[in-house]
Amino acid sequence: MKMKISKILLIAVSIVPLAWFLPDFYDVLFKDSVRPPYVVYSAVSQDFYFFRSGKKGLTDREGNRYTEQQSDSLLPLFYYRQLYSQGKMPDTVRGVEIRPKMFKVSNYTVRLKSKDLDGPQIPLQPLFESVLRRGKLSFPHDVFRINKRMEFLDCASNQVNEKKSEAFTRALNEAGFQYPAARIYGNPSARKAYDWGYFVIDSSEKLFHVRMRNGLPLVKAVKLPEGVKKVARVQVTEQSSRRYYALVLSEAGNVYYLRSKSYQWVQFPIPPIDVYHENISISGNPLYQTIRIVGKGRVKAYAVTKDFKLENEYSEELPVWENSGKGRVKQYLFPFELSAFRAGSTFVNFHLKNFSWQAVFVNMLFSLLIVFWGRKRKQPANKLMLSFAVCLVAGVYGFVGAAVFQD
């Protein structure tokens, strides 16, 4: 009896690693990666162009390919370094005078990946002095945390700086902060020209801006845009233009900039994105902002003017490997998968995913095969019924486990 129980446990336990590794091994052998095109916008022709994997050079919507010289002419705001080095940069683009200093102020790129929405939060953060000393930021000697209050800990002694902690806690209390902090967003690096501080979401999902000037706290409660109840992500920008504090993504998928000083919201004139399954990147230049959104099976792009008016948009369906022949075989072969990761998260955990009803038919086939094999080996009926049930539920995983451990 003990032997029978041990075999049942071995079969059950074997299903876990098989469901964990067999689908990944299948992907290694047969899965073809689908790389979305990199979309750029031409201020000259006011249309989108593409850099595609496996194709050299620039192409347009119809697939026409352009030489390097043609690409330089179409995308002067993209190839400006090359054009300036060759002395070929036009003085004006679309009637706007273009000067080299404009690129330093206007060029930027911001990226938000869906997997970063749910990830480990660093509990201790450095708060920089926003007033520059000797023209640069210097790394502080303490770090802060916000639990029952805002506390500053000295990095050398690990002691709480009570005076500083009380000052910042008092400022948070006066702004209406509710403890503890749910999420803290900032750029904890001294390799930047200036510091915008941190944007903190409190326990009631309200947004606060926390900075330090001359050692004193600057805390402001930021009213969310109309209709926004919850913020999904904040990306502190700290761009050269200093026009915006941060890029903000709402739970509903709307994209906003928060203007510096005035704290006014500017919404991008684009449809809401899927915050948990789509990645967004925004690139700016002296005339336009190009928004690229990449999700499973689709890439979208929008050209937005500097005054936030939508000028052009593009959408393209991408081949989905799961819909190909090899992808459909996988859905029939594996009834489910186990994985350490799930969409929209960087946490490592135990996740059951990709449950497939199509695999029921293949599960039945494995069940009949294991019974036929057991009858040839003259196994008792109770063993055959157990093997049949395991294969019917676990498919190929149960078949491998039962075949190895049934004797």
Q: Hunting for tokens 């009637």 — which residue is that? A: 95
214 with 340, same domain: the answer is no
213 with 125, same domain: the answer is yes
Q: Return the exposure string of 237-257: e unless at least 16 CB atoms fall within 10 Å of the residue's CB, then b.
A: bbbeeebbbbbbbbbebbbbb
Q: Hunting for tokens 């469901």 — which residue is that? A: 19
Q: Is residue 318 part of a domain?
A: no
> How many separate domains does the chain show?
3
Q: Is residue 89 part of a domain?
A: yes
266 with 364, same domain: the answer is no
53 with 99, same domain: the answer is yes
| pLDDT score at 407 | 56
H or E element that contains 367: helix 359-376
Domain boundary (72, 90, 105) is at: 105
342 with 397, same domain: the answer is yes
280 with 333, same domain: the answer is no
Q: Is residue 344 part of a domain?
A: yes
CA 266 to CA 289: how far, in whole Å?
13
Domain boundary (56, 74, 105) is at: 105
Residue 102 identity: M
97 with 112, same domain: the answer is no
Structure tokens at 366: 């494995």
| pLDDT score at 268 | 97
CA 169 to CA 381: how far, in whole Å?
71
| Owning domain of residue 369 | 2-32+325-405
120 with 262, same domain: the answer is yes
CA 384 to CA 128: how far, in whole Å?
69
| pLDDT score at 7 | 67
Q: Is residue 295 part of a domain?
A: no
360 with 226, same domain: the answer is no
| pLDDT score at 6 | 67
**Cα dihedral angle (389, 394, 399, 404), rounded to 10 degrees?**
-100
Q: Is residue 202 part of a domain?
A: yes
Domain boundary (255, 284, 313) is at: 284
| pLDDT score at 404 | 66
Nearest to 370 by CA among 393, 388, 382, 383: 388
Q: Hunting for tokens 């109309």 — which residue is that? A: 226
DSSP tag of 70: H
Query: 47 pairs with which residues across the strands?
Result: 42
Structure tokens at 403: 């075949």
Q: Is residue 21 part of a domain?
A: yes
How far are the Cα atoms of 149, 211, 220 from residue 217, in angstroms, in the given order?
14, 6, 10
> What three-state secondary structure class fits 120?
coil
| pLDDT score at 118 | 78
9 with 44, same domain: the answer is no
268 with 130, same domain: the answer is yes
Sign for the pseudo-dihedral over CA of 113, 117, 119, 125: positive
223 with 348, same domain: the answer is no
Q: Is residue 257 part of a domain?
A: yes
Residue 128 burial (CB count, 10 A): 23
List the chain pLDDT tens, one digit each, 407 residues: 444 666 667 777 788 888 888 888 888 888 888 889 999 999 999 999 999 988 888 999 998 999 999 999 999 999 999 999 999 999 999 889 999 899 988 899 999 988 888 777 888 999 999 888 777 888 999 999 999 999 999 999 999 999 999 999 999 999 999 999 999 999 999 888 899 999 999 999 999 999 999 999 999 999 999 999 999 999 999 988 899 999 999 999 999 999 999 999 999 999 999 998 899 999 999 999 999 999 988 999 999 999 999 999 999 998 888 888 888 898 888 888 888 877 777 777 777 887 788 888 888 888 888 777 777 777 777 777 777 887 888 888 888 877 765 55
Query: Which residues contact residue 397 at a Cβ distance below 8 angstroms, ignoring those fewer than 6 apart?
Result: 14, 15, 18, 19, 22, 334, 335
Q: Is residue 134 part of a domain?
A: yes
